[in-house]
Structure 1
C-alpha cells in the first residue's frame, strides 16, 4: 500500500477528502492517504512541500504560484475550487475602525509571509488605491487563534480570512467584518512535489479520480448542509449560502488563469518574474 501525505486547511472546502477517507475509498485503491491539517494555511503548507513533510497540498492558487516562482519544486495538477475565495476583512469588535478606508497605513495580521492572508492584503490595497510601500504593515500571528489574540490585544489592526470560516467569531462578538475581498481567480488548487510526482504519477492520478468522483456530486449528498454545519460549527443558513456560491472543479487550471494570477502578483511586486505555464502545472 502506497503511503501519501497530503495537507490542507481544516475548513469546509476539504470535507470531500474526509468523506473519501471515512469511506475507505483510498484504501480500496491500495493508497494509504494521510491527511494533515495546516492551521497556518498556505504559507505553512508551502514550507511543508519544500521540506518533504507532505507530498500533496490543497492550497491557495496565488500562494503556490508565488512560491513555485520562489523555488518551491512543486507543480499544480488540478483546480480544486473553481469559484473565488471571499476574504472577510476583520477588526476587533470594539475597534475604532469602521470601514476599509480607515485601515490605510495600519497593521495587518498575517499567518506568515507568503501566505494567502499576506498576499491578499496587497490585492485589497490595490483595490483601494493604497500605496503598497507606505500603507501596508504586518504582524505575523501564525493562525486564526493568533489573529483573535492579536486583534483583541491590539498588536494588529485587521485580519483577512475566509468569511464563512470566521463567521462564528463575528456572530459571537470577537470580530467585526467591515468588508470583503474576493480573489479574482479560482481559489484552491492541488499541488504535488515534483520529486514525488516523477515516480508516482499513477498514484496521484488515482487520488484525483477518487476526489473528483466525490466533488462532482458533493452538493447532492443528502443533508450535506447539516453535516457541514455540525462539523465546522456553522449556522445552517451560512452553510447553505456558502454551498450556493462554491463550485468544485475536476480539471486542470488553464493558461489564461495562470497568466492572470501572475500578472496580478507581478503588478503587486510580490513576484520578480513570470514563469511559463508548463513550469507551473503538470497535466496528468
Structure 2
C-alpha cells in the first residue's frame, strides 16, 4: 500500500475526492490517500508542501504559481477546476460601507500572506483602478477569524468564495458588496517534486481516478442535495454553483500559464516569471 498525503479546503469543490476515498477507489489500487482539511486555504497549503506535511494540494492557481516561483519544490500536474472562482467582497452587516468604491484604501482581512484572499485583493484593486500599493492587510487565518475581525473593526472587508460565505449573509453576519471572479481556472493539483520522482505511477493513478469522477460529477443522482446537506448550503445556491462550475481533466497550457504570470507580474505579486518546465509537470 502506497501512503500519499493530500490537502484541500473543506469546501464543495472537493467533494469528488471524498467520494472516491469513501468508495475505496484509491485503496482498491493499493493507494492509501490520507486527506487533510485546510480551512486556512492556499497560503497554509503552500507551507505544507514546502514542509512535506502534504504530498499533494488542491490549491488556488495564482497562489501556487506565486509560491513555486518563490522556491516551493512542487509542480502543477493538472487543472482541477476550469471555471473561475467567484470571490464575494464582504463587509460586516452593520458596516457603514455600502459600495465597492467605499473600500478604496481600507484594510483587507486575509487568511495569510500569499493566500488567495490576499492575491485577489490585488486583482480587485487593479480592476477598480485603485493604487495597489495602498493595500493594507490584517491576517485572520480562517473565515471565523474574518467574522471576528470585521465585527471588531480591525479590518474593513474580506474576500472569500461567494457560495461558502452565503450562509453568513443569510444569517445577517456579512453583507456582500460585489463579486470578483478570477481571470483564470481557479484550482489546480500540485505535487511535491520528491513524490513525482519517487511515485510517478501512483500520481498518475490518482489523477486517473479523480478525473473519472469529476467528468461525471454533475450527473450523480441528487448530487445537489448531497452537497447542500454536507456543506450546509441552500439547495438553490448549490444548484447555481453547479451551473457555473466546470471541472477539468487537462493540463494548464503554456498560453494560460503565461497569461496568469503576466497578470501577477503586472500586479507586482511576483517579481519574476518561471518557465513552463519549472512550474508544470505533465504526468
TM-score by length of 1: 0.99
Q: CA deviation at 1:132?
A: 1.2
Cα distance between partner residues in 1 of 2:32 and 2:18: 13
Output one character per residue of 1:133-188: Cα deviation in whole Å (capped at 9) or x when no partner. Answer: 12x10000001110011011111100000000000001110000000000000000
Partner of 1:279: 278
**Secondary structure of the corresponding residue to residue 124 of structure 1:** helix
Question: Is 1:20 aligned to residue 28 of structure 2?
Answer: no
Partner of 2:164: 165
**Secondary structure of the corresponding residue to residue 132 of structure 2:** coil
Partner of 2:227: 228
Partner of 1:6: 6
Question: Is 1:101 aligned to residue 101 of structure 2?
Answer: yes
Q: CA deviation at 1:283?
A: 0.7
Output one character per residue of 1:189-230: Cα deviation in whole Å (capped at 9) or x when no partner. Answer: 000000111111000000000000100000000000000000
Partner of 2:193: 194
Partner of 1:78: 78
Q: CA deviation at 1:99?
A: 0.8
| Number of equivalenced pairs | 283
Partner of 2:64: 64
Partner of 2:36: 36
Cα distance between partner residues in 2 of 1:234 and 1:142: 22
Cα distance between partner residues in 1 of 2:269 and 2:244: 28
Q: Which runs of 5+ in 1 are unaligned?
A: none
Q: CA deviation at 1:57?
A: 0.3
Q: CA deviation at 1:278?
A: 1.2
Cα distance between partner residues in 2 of 1:11 and 1:249: 17
Q: Which runs of 5+ in 2 are unaligned?
A: none
Partner of 1:249: 248
Cα distance between partner residues in 1 of 2:14 and 2:157: 26
Report the aligned-residue RMSD.
Answer: 0.4
Q: CA deviation at 1:10?
A: 0.2
Cα distance between partner residues in 1 of 2:194 and 2:99: 46
Question: Is 1:206 aligned to residue 213 of structure 2?
Answer: no
